[in-house]
Amino acid sequence: MTAADLKVLTAAAEIGLPEPLRLLHMTDTHVNLPGPGNPTEEAYTEHFAAAIEYAKAHGLFVIHTGDLTVYNTPENFAFAKKMLSEVDHITLIGNHDLTLPGKIGHNDPVMGAQVFPVVQSYFDHDLTFSSRIVGGVNFVSINNIHYRFKPEQMERLKAEASRGYPIILLLHIPLFDSEEAAIMAAKGRKFPHMLTPPEKYRTIYEERNWARQCGDEATYDTVRYIGSEPAIRAIFAGHLHERHDGICDCGKRQIITNGVFQGYVREITVY
Ligand SMILES: [Fe+2]
């Protein structure tokens, strides 16, 4: 795998910037170095290096929307951080970043809360909520990996909206998009892993999936707020290991990119 082997998707997002901003959307790299409890098949280190090489060669700002690692080990995070240190970037965590080798604690909020401080210690920015202005865009990243938004995250988002910059929201788990859900169902993936599925999907999900993904009141409130807030212009997300560029059910443009582990990146021009 080299930069020339990457499958490069494209998108353009018009949000009224005076100067265009070109960036590389990477997501779901799943760095998977072998280690105790993890006799791995594929480390995906070459995939990560190829994507970073592509960003450097094309002068692109990098946004990585979670699942840097497949398992939370110091070695995996050290490699991911070394790669990211070569480019100007924003990163957030995904559900795999809080999973221990052997898939222990995968998607488990209790285990996730225990592991979270360790993962946070690898980063300088707040992994639950962060904001950074680049090229006149306020990139706001919110951790939603357990299919929930917390009330304090909504309050912080409202504070960001009041600053007057156009916002692009960075999430690991996409907001529910019925069009993409139908595409995935046609491929046999009946339980689309997106945030706040509509009630009519309840019968399609098994009870366990529904309980995990249906969201709570604060989560639905936050999604409604995202849909109604004019400052929020677009959402970039990952998690599905699929690509989609559409309007999610809350009414906002949402761009989802396949995983780097699958050989994909997406070049996005924001203008
Ligand atoms: Fe992933």
pLDDT the model gives residue 215: 87
What does DSSP assign to residue 129?
E
144 CA → ligand 1 middle, Å: 13
Whole-angstrom distance, CA of residue 248 vs CA of residue 174: 9
User: Per-residue pLDDT for 231 more than 90?
Assistant: yes
User: Per-residue pLDDT for 36 more than 90?
Assistant: no
Whole-angstrom distance, CA of residue 56 vs CA of residue 197: 38
Quickly count: other Cβ atoms within 10 Å of residue 80's Cβ. Answer: 23
160 CA → ligand 1 middle, Å: 28
User: Per-residue pLDDT for 40 more than 80?
Assistant: no
pLDDT digits (tens, 9 = 90+) for 121-142: 999 999 999 999 999 999 999 9
pLDDT the model gives residue 190: 84
Domain range for 229 is 3-270
171 CA → ligand 1 middle, Å: 12
CA torsion sign for 110, 111, 117, 122 is negative
pLDDT the model gives residue 101: 85
pLDDT the model gives residue 205: 85
- Report which of residues 36 and 14 the model is more confident about: 14
134 CA → ligand 1 middle, Å: 26
Helix axes 217-228, 151-161, angle to 10 degrees: 10
Quickly count: other Cβ atoms within 10 Å of residue 126's Cβ. Answer: 12
DSSP letter string over 155-208?
A: HHHHHHHTT-S-EEEE-SSPBP-HHHHHHHHHTT--S---BS--GGGTTTS-HH
69 CA → ligand 1 middle, Å: 9
pLDDT digits (tens, 9 = 90+) for 76-112: 999 999 999 999 999 999 999 999 888 888 888 988 9
71 CA → ligand 1 middle, Å: 11
29 CA → ligand 1 middle, Å: 7
pLDDT the model gives residue 24: 98
99 CA → ligand 1 middle, Å: 11
Give the chain's domain count: 1
- CATH number of the domain that residue 11 is part of: 3.30.750.180
Amino acid identity, residue 161?
Answer: A
Whole-angstrom distance, CA of residue 44 vs CA of residue 39: 14
Chain centroid to Cα 34, Å, comes to 24
pLDDT digits (tens, 9 = 90+) for 155-214: 999 999 999 999 999 999 999 999 999 999 999 988 889 999 998 888 888 888 898 888
pLDDT the model gives residue 208: 84
User: Per-residue pLDDT for 38 more than 80?
Assistant: no
67 CA → ligand 1 middle, Å: 5
Whole-angstrom distance, CA of residue 216 vs CA of residue 30: 28
pLDDT the model gives residue 22: 98
Nearest to residue 232, comparing CAs of 256, 253, 255, 257?
253
240 CA → ligand 1 middle, Å: 7
